[in-house]
Amino acid sequence: MLAPAVAKAAAQAPGLDEHGLPKTVFLPPPVPLSGTGPVIGIDLGTTNSCVALLSNGRPLVLRSREGYNTIPSVISLNAQNKLLVSHRAKNQLVLRPQHTIYGAKRLVGRPYDSAVVNQVRERFHYDIVPDSAGRAAVRLADTALSLEEVQALILRECKEMAEAHLNQKVERAVVTVPAYYSEPQREAVRKSGILAGLKVERILNEPTSAALAYGLNRELNKKVLVYDLGGGTFDATILKIEKNVFEVLGTGGDVFLGGIDFDNLIVDYLLARFQEKEGITFTGDGIALSRVSDAAERAKMGLSERSTFEVHIPMLMMDDSGRPRDLRVVLSRQELEKICEPLLSRTIDVVRDVLLDAKLKAAEVDDIILVGGMSRMPLVRDKLKSLFGKGAQASVNADEAVALGAALYSGSVDKVSSVVLIDVLPMTVGVAMPGGAFKRVIERNSPLPAQRSFAINTTKDNEAFLELSIFQGEDSHISANEYLGTVRIEGLPKGPKGSVRVAVTLKLDSECVLHVEAREYSTRKEVKATLATRYSPEELQKQLQVSKESVKAAEERRGADLKERAGGFWSFVKKALGRK
């Protein structure tokens, strides 16, 4: 039934050290962690990260050196080749866009060849390159840096903030990730932790964490919506809170819908107004464009508080006669809302889908929790109010809720706790069939932990081992889904083909980590099954006898889907940098 197994040793992937960790350039090599001492909570965000910890039993958000409650998730090399992290790195974005790495969270744990990496590669200012193991990495000056290391540098900053506050060493953390994060992405977060000198005690889903911040120890009995609109992504999750049991009923989102998309639309609008007023087309370079996008973001944030905002960018560009021209536009909240309406409507569509997944009517949702900087836009509240007929909770801080929940949960790491978290599987997990069809094994939205078993047979006489390639995603063809790895089942008894049967069990634990077990039918004995081998896409296609046409069709399906959702995502950056 399965494709013939290909003999191949599970070699140590190049680019990794002997612990399977990416080799680092800017960090000291990892040291063994003691696994004791305080545990902190970290919201490792796409745009901003936030650190919190328990102080006398109460969760407390830490301030950065600059006095902010969040730090930008950005690293940069300055002109003197000095590595900068967070606020100081973000300041380099306009000056040294090619040397400033942001949005690493979108790329970490993904193969270079994956559809998402292809999709964003040409839109990022910096170079995304394959590492020697075929995963996405980034180039900073002349060094290729793993995304685990980029994330580790941000985690280390968080760790240092906590150490400065506590005046003691911090080696343990609860780190949050998006609910839709795949298995390899979660694994990458653990590796980043180790590189940063942090043992990741628990990986918590962001919406669950926000719900904890809202409802822990409050004796609630409610269904809540967590609406999280951040800098790059949108997530909507409905949870049932019953005392301290937090159960996800449905989750959905859009990985290409966040603050940056709003900024882009505002940039387009400002440039159109500039052209109208000045009678010339904007032909500025990348730096000029960064200034406009910076101003657009400022205007957007300002208009969350005020009804008008004046955008003034002196000497935006020179005209043909060498005269400097300013951009000066007064933007009203009304205009802004008109620009942003289509994007916010998309978030409401996602919310409606999640309601369907959770089998709930809008009226059955008791409370709305707003998370993410973008949710401060007043139109978000208005739109949700017209769908649900009630306002959002004012008690939750949109920037801090996720980190506060992680800090609260850190209190349960070392002791038996009454908190129960029931998450769901974000994307279906299944196996590859000959020809490349995807056989679904554990369905999306199944409550975790989950496990399913199925049987496979040998297809050759005296076959010594079987291999099973595991994927995650919703497409019917493996090429449009994410490759998790290949399981090798060894130590099979000898016998004619088809006579040896193995029961394979895929298990996902409560943190969505995949475990595989295999048991031989006749002897009932457990046989060795390890998820260690990784093939290149070409090797896999050959092994499973996948036709080129079906791969192409699947990739087009996936590409079209992403393109549609990506919308105008950084189209202006492409324009400005003259990239295709």
The entry of ligand ADP, Mg ion, none that residue 215 binds, CB within 5 to 8 Å by partner kind: none
CB of residue 243 vs ligand ADP: minimum separation in angstroms? 29
Catalytic residue among 206, 254, 297, 399: 206
CB nearer to Mg ion: pick between 189 and 329: 189
From 7-15, 136-144, 227-235, 504-512, give the range in contact with ligand ADP by CB under 6 A: 227-235
CB of residue 62 vs ligand ADP: minimum separation in angstroms? 16
Query: Contacts with ligand ADP in 30-69 (CB under 6 A)?
Result: 45-48
Going edge to edge, which strands form the sheet with 420-422?
Answer: 367-371, 221-229, 234-242, 245-254, 420-422
Determine the Cα–Cα distance for residues 402 and 381; give it in Å rounded to an integer.
Answer: 19
Determine the Cα–Cα distance for residues 45 and 176; give it in Å rounded to an integer.
Answer: 9
Kindly list the distances between the CA atom of residue 362 and the CA atoms of 169, 185, 235, 251, in Å, as whole numbers in the listed order: 47, 32, 17, 15
One of 121, 376, 390, 501 touching ligand ADP (CB under 6 A): 376
Integer Rg of the chain from CA: 25
Task: Count the residues of the shown chain that bind Mg ion, applying the rule CB under 5 A.
Answer: 2
CB of residue 61 vs ligand ADP: minimum separation in angstroms? 13
Question: Is 43 noted as a catalytic residue in this protein?
Answer: yes
Q: Is 293 in the site for ligand ADP (CB under 6 A)?
A: no
Q: What is the DSSP letter of 277?
A: H
Estimate the crossing angle of helix 147-166 against helix 183-196, to 10 degrees.
50
CB of residue 100 vs ligand ADP: minimum separation in angstroms? 16
From 51-59, 373-381, 491-499, 544-552, give the range in contact with ligand ADP by CB under 6 A: 373-381
Query: Contacts with ligand ADP in 394-413 (CB under 6 A)?
Result: 399
Task: Please answer whether residues 153 and 85 qualify as being in contact, where contact means their C-beta atoms are separated by less than 8 angstroms.
Answer: yes
CB nearer to Mg ion: pick between 45 and 207: 45
Task: Please answer whether residues 291 and 270 qualify as being in contact, where contact means their C-beta atoms are separated by less than 8 angstroms.
Answer: no
φ, ψ dihedrals at 164, nearest 5°: -65, -40
One of 230, 259, 405, 436 touching Mg ion (CB under 5 A): 230
Residue 513's Cβ-count burial label (10 Å; 0-12, 13-18, 19+) is middle
Catalytic residue among 105, 223, 240, 383: 105
DSSP string, 2-20: PPPP-----PPPTTB-TTS
The entry of ligand ADP, Mg ion, none that residue 301 binds, CB within 5 to 8 Å by partner kind: ligand ADP
Determine the Cα–Cα distance for residues 42 and 193; give it in Å rounded to an integer.
Answer: 11
CB nearer to ligand ADP: pick between 232 and 284: 232
Question: Is 243 noted as a catalytic residue in this protein?
Answer: no
Determine the Cα–Cα distance for residues 374 and 230; give it in Å rounded to an integer.
Answer: 6
CB of residue 89 vs ligand ADP: minimum separation in angstroms? 14
**Active site residues per annotation:** 43, 105, 206, 228
Residues at the interface with ligand ADP (CB under 6 A): 45-48, 70, 230-232, 258-259, 297, 300-301, 304, 372-374, 376-377, 399
Residues at the interface with Mg ion (CB under 5 A): 45, 230
